[in-house]
Amino acid sequence: QVQLQESGPGLVKPSETLSLTCAVSGYSITTNWWSWVRQPPGKGLEWIGEIYHSGRANYNPSLKSRVTLSADKSKNQFSLNLTSVTAADTAVYFCVRNGYYSGDPWGQGTLVTVSS
């Protein structure tokens, strides 16, 4: 049974870099693409980007200048770096396995607050 678990700091200062990791268990990350999606408190879902184990990635154009995704096959995990964060980046961040043009399953999500 595939499981995804996000980890990383819950509080990041403005202008700094948000870094999260998604550990995958029960499934190899070499088989699928993997995405990050975020949800500001009380709002809808926004796709951030997707990564393949080779390092190939696709990004949301609205975030592309600030986002870097990476994958570590040896640890079976993938990561998100978002630079120059502001309060607008406060959100629950989910990692997701890409399936048939959709995402399943999702990690439980981790709340990241941007505040000084």
Interface pattern 49-68 for another protein (x via CB under 8 A)? -x-------xxxxx------
* Nearest to another protein of 16, 47 (CB atom): 47
Q: Count of residues binding another protein (CB under 8 A)? A: 24
β strands within the chain, DSSP E: 3-7, 11-12, 18-25, 34-39, 46-51, 57-59, 67-72, 77-82, 91-98, 103-106, 110-114
Q: Among candidates 45, 41, 43, 98, which has minimal Cα distance to 69?
A: 98
> Which DSSP state fits 101?
S
Check residue 27 for interaction with another protein (CB under 8 A).
no
Which one among 65, 100, 115, 116 touches another protein, defined by CB under 8 A?
100
Check residue 47 for interaction with another protein (CB under 8 A).
yes
In the complex, which residues of this chain contact another protein (CB under 8 A)? 35, 37, 44-47, 50, 58-62, 94, 99-109
